Amino acid sequence: MSFKVYLNGKLVDKKDAKISVFDHGLLYGDGVFEGIRAYSGRVFKLREHLTRLYDSARAIRLTIPMKPEELEKIVINTLRANDLKDAYIRLIVTRGIGDLGLDPDKCKSPGIIVITDKIKLYPETYYKKGLGVVTVSTRRNIPDAINPSIKSLNYLNNILAKIEAKLCKAPEAILLSKDGYVTECTGDNIFIIKGRSLITPPSYIGILNGITRKAVMKIAEKNMGLSIKEEVFTQFHMYTANECFLTGTAAEIIPVVKIDDRIIADGKPGKFTAKLISEFKKLTQSEGVKIMGTCT
């Protein structure tokens, strides 16, 4: 069966899902997107993702030509068309077709794309044994240039960092702020645990306010009694942490056991990280908008 892609009002075969070379999403990275997951017939945190999508669009003065409720139905219908109960969803809104100039007002109609498929970001061994990451020289975009809180189609900053990581034969990179504080990775938020404190960089420093990030913070505080701190920290604090892990929609929760060739604690995924992974999996099986039947 050929996967169907929603493209500007129609469900089309994957091979026929094509956009204009004059679309400003392609020409200039002018647009926004969300990566979303479905588990066991439920779309996890769909409405939170839609809220962030509309916030990102508003920040770049891009008007999405439908209400969130309509876009929610399109996502659900695309999953149904592909008979997917466990899936990765890529929801994209481009500025639309314009000319070769930068002027966004030349783009009369935004493009809307929904792709539903499978994704596996890391091998299973990384979730069991943890992964090693590196700090790279590429600095995170400063918020008053391209604010990382906007989930835009312009991911060159992340890609440059990913290239550096690959050159170091590492699967992921940590980006620092212009002042040398830890921000996030190329596609994931970062957490450290020290004692009974769960620490993550604050959103104002220049990070994407991750949906999984927020879910993990809530689980850690409510179910595990950890103290949640959103505060700046440096590489030193990572190297001397008791535990470290990354979170993201595609990655979920993945332990980090080595940073810049420094072994974190005993070099094994920590007990709090393991508990968070377990609790998060439970949450994904019980919460979300149903693909078939009544929405929850």
CA 63 to chain centre: 22
Residues above pLDDT 90, as percent of the chain: 97
Q: Which residues of 23-47 are buried (b: 16+ CB within 10 A; e: fewer)?
A: bbbbbbebbbbbbbbbbebbbbbbe
Which pLDDT score, from 0 to 100, does residue 68 have? 98
Res 119: pLDDT? 87
Identify the pLDDT of residue 296: 38
Model pLDDT for residues 164-223, shown as the tens digit of each residue: 999 999 999 999 999 999 999 999 999 999 999 999 999 999 999 999 999 999 999 999
Measure the CA dihedral 273/279/281/287, to 10°: -140
Residues 6 or more apart whose Cβ sits within 8 Å of residue 15: 2
State yes or no: pLDDT of 286 exceeds 80.
yes
Which segments of the chain belong to CATH 3.30.470.10?
4-117
- pLDDT-derived band of residue 293, with 50, 70 and 90 as boundaries? low
Q: Which of 4, 108, 118, 151 is catalytic?
A: 151
Residues sharing a CB contact under 8 Å with residue 129, sequence separation 6 or more, in sequence order? 255, 257, 268, 269
Q: Please work out, in degrees rounded to the nearest 5, the angle formed at the alpha carbon of residue 270 by the alpha carbons of 283 and 223.
A: 35
Give the whole-angstrom CA distance, residue 36 versus residue 123: 20
Instruction: State the SS3 of 135-180.
Output: ECCCCCCCCCCCCCCCCECCCHHHHHHHHHHHHCCCCCEEEECCCC
Q: At residue 206, what are phi and psi to the nearest 5 degrees?
A: 120, 60
Structure confidence at residue 1 as a pLDDT band (50, 70, 90): low
| Pairing verdict, β 243-248 and 227-230 | unpaired
pLDDT at residue 266 tops 90: yes
Class of the CATH domain delimited by 4-117: alpha beta
* Whether residue 272 has pLDDT greater than 50: yes
Q: Is 10 a catalytic residue?
A: no
pLDDT in tens, 17-37: 999 999 999 999 999 999 999
| 3-class state of residue 267 by DSSP | coil
Check whether domain 124-284 has CATH 3.10.20.30, yes or no: no
Residue 152, Cβ density class (10 Å: 0-12 exposed, 13-18 middle, ≥19 buried) = buried
pLDDT digits (tens, 9 = 90+) for 36-67: 999 999 999 999 999 999 999 999 999 999 99
Write down the mean pLDDT value for the chain: 96
- pLDDT on residue 294: 46
pLDDT tens digits, residue range 212-255?
999 999 999 999 999 999 999 999 999 999 999 999 999 999 99
Say whether pLDDT at 141 is over 60.
Answer: yes
In the chain, CATH 3.20.10.10 sits at 124-284
What is the structure's pLDDT at 121?
84
